[in-house]
Structure 1
Amino acid sequence: MTPILGRLRPRAALLAAAAGTVLAATAMTAVPADAVSIKSQPLRHIQLLAVNDFHGNLEPPTGSGGTVSPGGGRPAVPAGGAAYLSTHLKQLRSGKKDSFTIGTGDMIGASPLLSAAFHDEPTIEALNLLGLDLSAVGNHEFDEGYAELLRMQKGGCIRDKDGAQNQNSCAAKDLGGKRFRGAKFDYLAGNVEFTADGTPLMAATHVEKFHNGAKVGFIGIVTSSTPSIVTASGIKGLSFKDEAEVVNKYAAQLQAKGIEAIVVLMHEGGSAGSAYNGCSTLGGAARGINANVTPAVDVIVTGHSHSAFNCKAADPAGNPRLVTQAGNYGRLVTDIDLVIDRRTGDVDRQATAANNVIVTRTVTPDAKITDLMDRYRTYLGPIANKTIGYIGSDITRSTNAAGESALGDLLADSVRADQSIAGRGPIDIAFMNPGGIRADLPRGDGAVTYEEAFAVQPFSNYNVSKTFTGEQVKRILEAGRLPVSGLTYTVTASAPAGNRVSNVLVGGQPLDLAKKYRVGANNFLIEGGDGYTTFAEGTDPLYGGVDIDGFASFLAANSSASAPYVVPPLDRITRLP
């Protein structure tokens, strides 16, 4: 198969496809403020504005996920929201003609309802409006399969009428509007190839020529762990190559074309053990990749780990290299001043600097983004009001003396039954974190709408299964009482720590401490969230769909208007004094 190449935008100058072909175009013009001839300036300044892991957060994210903590004892700042992000980007670009806006993946996927209900088409439209120029793909861009990713790039509609799986495509077209036209920016996926013949899925590189004469090459890659964290059927026939090896390959090709200033957009990240705008020590996957990426690369802009940092880390030649990340959900923008030596065309790394800017909500929101969201809120009505199941009584989060709740049990059951992961191997045990249950499920007229179900699980986590030993399962139970499915046990409150849990039965059989069990939970919990660190010890992860879809499917399969879902007895956890 041939690679899918992004469209040339009016302001783009050069597009280098994965095979290394460079296509020329034109860039916007600007007059230096001091009226000095560009040729007489020894240094050229390029502004790069970077965003990562937006995850369709068009509306301002809520709770702690909607703030940024500056550190130093300063209070958390409300941040995020596409309309505010757009205004901040415009302000940051003001007076800078040589500005380029980039993303490092997961711009869509695991999104809130306003975007998820429309296959993330609203987010792509918003990214077009706020001026995104280029982005690497992330693993979540593959959530609905690579064919859907290509549709996000090229446009077109899914013929699903009023919405399969509680989603709808081209809602505007259904109402006499325009079809979805796809991304105006180009996606890069340098390390994603068709296994059969090695041809690239999408372009690997892009070269931008700026008014001041500077040329900057960009290489886009996604984490090589993608096959283990997305649904297998969606990426069947694709191979995900080693990040550093692919970057080194394309960096050499760019240099052969005379491009010395090279920036990597990488959907893989790490941590820096510091406040949002600092760096103590670069850690995680980004550290190892940086150590193996050629010194020809001048800047690595990362994503995936939802961290915020601004580091100078040594490349293999021992020279400092900028490595950054802007948190997630559009709460931060990394403003990079890329300084290029006019004589060599290479980056002056000592002069190059970055600053993570908080996307505050104290600015005037962009009216075009606001109008876009208002329009999709109107379209959302039929989806939000769609009946997905029936219940015979209120199902609440309130717990009994043992810490068990009806809603927690229901959600744990939906994880264990979720065919997006259980279809690839039975799940023996499933857990739910109580903090992830954000609302009760009232009976009302007995019909449960999609919007009501989404209010219960609004985080758009995805369901995951891992392998654990019985001993690890017991440690999870000892750490605290979680809603559980497929397992019953007794907890003795007065017993010493580590010996409070007994009589553990899995599927009616005693827990075998040496046996391996398949355990499911949402990605937040199974990665060690809420202090349940033993979950991080699980192996062989299989990643499924979004948790709300599993919940909706479970209700649909286990209830009807004539036979509503009946809450089972709360007998999975027995508490003794």
Structure 2
Amino acid sequence: MSSSRPIARLGAGSLGLALAAAGLSFVAAPAAHAADPVVINLVGINDFHGRIDANTVKWAGTVEQTKALRPAADTLFVGAGDLVGASLFASATANDQPTIDVLNELGLQASSVGNHEFDKGWADLRDRIIGPAATPNAAWEYLGANVYAKGTTTPVLPEFWETDVSGLKVAVIGAVTEETRSLVSPGGITDIDFGPIVPAINRVADELTDGNAANGEADVIVATVHAGAVKGAGSSYEEQVLQNGEFQDMALHLSPKVDAVFQGHTHQLYAWDAPVTGGDLPTRPLLQTGNYGDNVGNIQLTVDPATKHVISYTKQNVARVTTPDADLIARYPVLSQVKSTVDTAIANAAAVGNQPVGSITADITTALPNPALPPAAGGTGNRDDRANESTLGDLVGNALRDGVPSDQGHVDLGIVNPGGLRSELLYAGDTTSNPANTNGVVTYAEANNVLPFVNNIWLVDLKGSSLKKVLEQQWQPVGSSRPFLALGLSDNVRVTYDPNAPAGSHITSVRIGDAPLDPDATYTVSTFSFLGTGGDNFAAFTEGTPHDTGLVDRDLWISYLQNHPGLSPDFARQQVGATGLPASVSAKGHYEFTLSKLDLTSAGSPANTSVSITADRGRGPVVKVGTATVSGGTAAVSIDIPSQVKGGVLTLVAQPSGTTVTIPVAQK
């Protein structure tokens, strides 16, 4: 077991050169100084997702500033995956080569793979992103101790990367979430398997310390893992350990031989002291930087070179600096090349990306973690609460339903996974670099940033019973990094669910158009190939019959925007919580139930204040039945059904959003 590229080792001679370059003199230490502590400066990133934009030089400057906290010979620059994929337009339009170039220029040394490194399949990662061993594209080592050849436990990627720091052998072990198999298109990973994280890291850590030099040797071990806590800010290590899943497994079972852990995948921000039994210290640093280059992680390990034990550490997340680019370039000359790469990428993308393709009347966004704050600009910050429905998700659902040409077949509904929505449609224009980007204009680049994955559009014929399973699978398997994923649905779909029901029984009603879901009927769902192949644990899609339209999601989406100018956000929820909801009501009956989740949390979503309740028999006038008050998105409904209401439907409409719940009325 060894890395596939030569191990870099820094001896006394190279240390002297590094110190001389820093303006310091180097003198060979006498024997009395042999035990002077060594400080290893670890600089970490995760979930960068190809953020090639106006902030890239500032992020790169933050990396260089953090690296400069210690001499270059004592500093390692590592990643925890998703460095490419789901990228901004300037990177995505060039297959993420600008991002790879920037990371090469900054001297990234090793990174775990993330699930997005597999977006275009294992062969693309191996042959293009990483490239040939003799002439690599990504100059750093991509690590995957738990990524195996299909049907084996033989790693297909290097398990670790190793170097010398002031005479200490430091190894970096990399691993990726086992959920990757459900997070990328299965067709691209048919030759590989993903195993559990902890046994893989522990196995490599044992081999690095077993005294067999053929396996590699390590005095200090760092893990970079593309998996992490479900929540960071506002939570604590102790709270997150109580959650099932990979974070809990790492917290409880990761080898004490691992001295520091960089994490990723869940886009959370934390720097915690993680208790460890049998380690050099009672705790070890555990850190994730959030996402999109907002922060750079820094862990410094102080090691006694005589005992090879960590005797202290520090940990922090360093927020991206706001220093002007010119000042950063003057301080760190390598940033001149970074800026050149970024400027070239942005200029190349601008020819296409600056073109208007649509227009909106107000912000249309993902669900916001804090609805009281403005939505994020540039795809980072206050956005992407995947546990809640959004105006953007439902709009993309409409595009999937209505954007497929009629000669491709009839479509009944569109379904979108929330993780597929990577940026917002914001009304405020930015004419700084694009005069065409005025208020309300949607440019090609902005549209592409919403759906950057380049999935094909599939039409999947599903039985109603399987479609209901798809909706039920929004409650993810136990131990998933995100317990609930709120699907975006086209606006002809209405769903009620009981949040308190047991697993498998949450969905209480589904209506497609004006009719209840028929479990035996076949419905054609327009969705991304990612979901159609069972991605994000929506395995019920595989019960249907798929048809690949050959259309790319980006192209269908942009065509939809071009054909529907002046789009406005629709604040009506398609899915509503309902406790005690009757399957039907009858004349003269009295009913009490609770509706919840009536409000959306996307930008501009109004707070509903009331629910109007009417009965429509399909003939004669609509009968007013009553009203209910809404507070905090919840309404306690208590109604008596008039004697003349027989047949038809009872309709409850939340005001002012228009969120609607429909209940059948018995004929007698």
TM-score range, shorter chain: 0.5 to 0.7
**Is structure 2 residue 492 aligned with structure 1 residue 487?**
yes
Tell me whether 1:412 sits opposite 2:400 in the alignment: no
Q: SS of 1:356's equivalent?
A: strand
Mapped to 2, the partners of 1:570 and 1:214 lie a distance apart of 58
| Structure-to-structure mapping, 1:10-21, within 5 angstroms | 12-13=8-9
Which of 67, 72, 79 pairs up with 1:93? 67
Structure (1 or 2) with the larger CA radius of gyration: 2
Q: CA separation in 2, counterparts of 1:187 and 1:509?
A: 51
Alignment of 1:374-413 (within 5 A): 374-384=343-353, 411-413=396-398
Q: Aligned in 2, Cα 1:251/1:569: closer, same or farther, shift over 3 Å? A: closer
Could you tell me which residue of structure 1 aligns to residue 425 of structure 2? 437
Distance 1:295 1:485 in 2: 49
Matched residue of 1:270: which SS?
A: coil
Which structure 2 residues correspond to residues 54-133 of structure 1 after superposition, within 5 A?
Answer: 54-60=48-54, 81-94=55-68, 95-97=70-72, 98-133=74-109
Pairing of 1:145-294 with structure 2 (within 5 A): 145-155=121-131, 182-210=137-165, 212-256=166-210, 257=213, 258-271=217-230, 273-274=232-233, 281-283=239-241, 284=243, 285-294=246-255
Quote the Cα distance in structure 2 between the aligned partners of 1:569 and 1:275: 33
1:379 and 1:287 mapped to 2: Cα distance?
44
Q: Which has the higher contact order (CA 8 A, sep 6+)?
A: 1
State the alpha-carbon separation in 1 of the partners of residues 271 and 188 from structure 2: 34
Aligned residue among 492, 512, 523 for 1:506: 512
Shift of 1:260: 3.2
Deviations 1:104-149 (A, max 9, x none): 0001110100001111010000111122111110001111111111
Please give the secondary structure, in 2, of the residue aligned with 1:458.
helix
Structure 2 CA distance for aligned equivalents of residues 417 and 317 of structure 1? 59
- Contact 2:222–2:261, Cα closer than 8 Å, also in 1: yes
Partner of 1:313: 274
Q: Give the aligned partner of residue 374 of structure 2.
A: none
Could you tell me whether the CA contact under 8 Å between 1:396 and 1:440 is conserved in 2?
no
The separation in 2 between residues aligned to 1:569 and 1:125, in whole angstroms, is: 39
In the other structure, the counterpart of 1:339 is: 302
1:377 aligned counterpart, secondary structure: helix
SS at match of 1:347: strand
- Count the aligned residue pairs: 462
Q: Is the 8 A contact 1:310 1:323 kept in 2?
A: yes
Give the distance between the partners of 2:451 and 2:129, measured in 1 at CA: 23
Q: Distance in 2 between matches of 1:217 and 1:485?
A: 49
Residues 227-273 of structure 1 show CA distances to partners (whole Å, capped at 9, x for unaligned) of 11111111112100110010111011100244231111100000565
What is the CA distance between 1:294 and its match in structure 2? 1.5
- Give yes or no for contact 2:87–2:449 (8 Å, CA) kept in 1: no
Q: Does the 8 Å CA contact 1:282/1:311 hold for their aligned counterparts?
A: no
> Contact (CA 8 Å) 1:134, 1:186: kept in 2 or not?
yes
Q: Distance in 1 between matches of 2:473 and 2:223?
A: 40
TM superposition shift of 1:287: 3.0
The one-letter amino acid paired with 1:242 is: P
CA contact (8 A) 2:363 2:426 kept: no
1:332-390 Cα distance to aligned partner (Å, 9 max, x none): 11111112221222333xx1221211111225343222211111123224543789x9x
2:553 counterpart residue number: 550
Q: What amino acid does structure 2 have at the position aligned with 1:372?
A: T
CA–CA distance in structure 1, aligned partners of residues 170 and 363 of structure 2? 57
CA distance in structure 2 between the partners assigned to 1:474 and 1:140 by the alignment = 21
Kindly state the Cα deviation for residue 458 of structure 1 after the two structures are TM-superposed: 3.0
1:412 is paired with a residue whose SS is helix
- Aligned-pair distance for 1:552? 1.6
Distance 1:398 1:569, change over 3 A: closer
Alignment deviations for residues 462-498 of structure 1 (CA, whole Å, 9 cap, x no partner) = 68999756997999xxxxx99842725699xxxxxxx
State the shift of 1:187 in Å.
Answer: 0.7
Distance 1:304 1:155 in 2: 24
| Matched residue, 1:458 | 449
Query: In structure 2, do the counterparts of structure 1 residues 266 and 514 end up closer, same or farther at CA, with 3 Å as the change threshold?
Result: farther
Distance 1:93 1:454, change over 3 A: closer
- The residue identity in structure 2 corresponding to 1:221 is A
SS in 1 for 2:85: coil
- TM-superposition CA deviations, 1:9-48 (whole Å, max 9, x none): 8xx239xxxxxxxxx9996545588965485334211100
Q: Counterpart of 2:138 in 1: which secondary structure?
A: coil
Q: Is the 8 A contact 2:128 2:137 kept in 1?
A: yes
| Alpha-carbon offset, residue 190 of structure 1 | 1.0
Q: CA deviation at 1:460?
A: 4.6
Unaligned runs of 5+ in 1: 15-23, 61-80, 157-179, 400-404, 476-480, 492-501, 523-536
Q: 1:379 to 1:45 in 2, by over 3 A?
A: same
Specify the SS of the correspondent of 1:129.
Answer: helix
CA distance in 1: counterparts of 2:391 and 2:510, whole angstroms: 20
Correspondent of 2:35 among 18, 33, 41: 41
- The answer on whether the counterparts of 1:468 and 1:539 sit within 8 Å (CA) in structure 2 is no
Amino acid at match of 1:550: D
TM-score by length of 2: 0.57
Query: Which stretch shifts more, 293-302 or 86-95?
Result: 86-95
Residues 92 and 452, structure 2, Cα contact 8 Å, conserved in 1: no
CA distance in 2, matches of 1:186, 1:418: 42
Matched AA of 1:150: R
Deviation at 1:188, TM superposition (A): 0.6
Q: Root-mean-square deviation (CA), in Å? A: 5.2
Q: CA deviation at 1:206?
A: 1.2
2:81 and 2:115 in contact (8 A); partners too: yes
Unaligned runs of 5+ in 2: 329-334, 365-389, 430-435, 461-465, 476-485, 497-507, 529-535, 575-650, 656-668
**In the aligned structure 2, how far is the partner of 1:395 from the partner of 1:274?**
33
* Alpha-carbon separation, structure 1, partners of 2:320 and 2:391: 39
